[in-house]
Structure 1
Amino acid sequence: MADPSGPTGIGVPCHVVVADEQTDVVVETERWGELAAAVLRAEGRVGELTLTFVDRGEIAALNAEHMGRAEPTDVLSFPLDAGEAVVPAGPVLLGDVVICPAVAADAAPNHAGSVDDELALLTVHGVLHVLGHDHADPDERAEMRARELRHLVDLHWRGPAPEGFRHEPGES
């Protein structure tokens, strides 16, 4: 497997297309698109990514179709490239990140602490998955969590994590 932090193209900018297809939670689409683009740049990646906010029904349908779990989830990532370094002939399509703000809002008090921090964590988490990072084993999990925290500190909070932030529900 190629290094997921390696570049996928030369001279191709980061571009994030954001859509809000839900009405349950007010979402600052421009802000989350900018965070996703900043993570791409920080990871040394270029290309286009879509970031879509959907309702519980849509995320449950996607989760059932792609993950075999017929229930709502907070975030799904769909990488379009296997992480191979290429020199693009045209736009590099990195993949799609789909977030359910309603599920995020429910999880926030026992997870990231606030809806704002939960949406930031899910955005960063989803982008890292698109770039090839995973958390299937303990070493991968530790690496991905470290990257998430670094990006949140540098690009979202612009300082230390707030008191009460947790990567996992119930962490202390």
Structure 2
Amino acid sequence: MSTPKMPLLDSCCGRWSLKVGTIISGVLGVIIGAVTLIFVLTTNVKMQTIVIDTLPSHIVKIILAINLVMTMIISALLVIGAIKRNRFMMLPWVILAIMLAIGLAISVIYTAVVFFIHKQALGGVLWLIFGLISVAIYVYLWLVVFSYFQLLQEEKGRGPYDRSAYKR
């Protein structure tokens, strides 16, 4: 029988419980997703992907809109899962968020390099600074959620009659 893993963090920002931090992360996901979706659908900004830059801008907008809607749904599931202490409902966010953190880091570095290639050093430096700060915040929020996720697993393993509590 394997021993449960201990949560990586024991609080969110040293002030709130992991549960509150998880709920905040989910609510932020819904809000940021909704605001970004509104921005994408109401502005005429040219969008392109890193990998396939030949796609028409309107197709990229549709793909991004679908991704944002899915992110909002998964973030809402995270909030409900945290409130109900249901790890199964939290799992899609835990998986998606770490993949998005990696994608965000790659995107930040790629975009900064493009700025530098086009001789826009200030833009590249600012993109790196603010982008990497965003990645760090995102990874921290993921760690909060993952810690709560692990805490729920640990608590599930400890029942009222758990013998380990009575061992000396």
When normalised by structure 1's length, the TM-score is: 0.25
Q: Which has the larger radius of gyration?
A: 2
* TM, length-normalised to structure 2: 0.25
User: Comparing both structures, which one devotes a greater share of its residues to helix?
Assistant: 2
Select the structure with the greater relative contact order (CA < 8 A; seq sep ≥ 6): 2
- Higher fraction of strand: 1
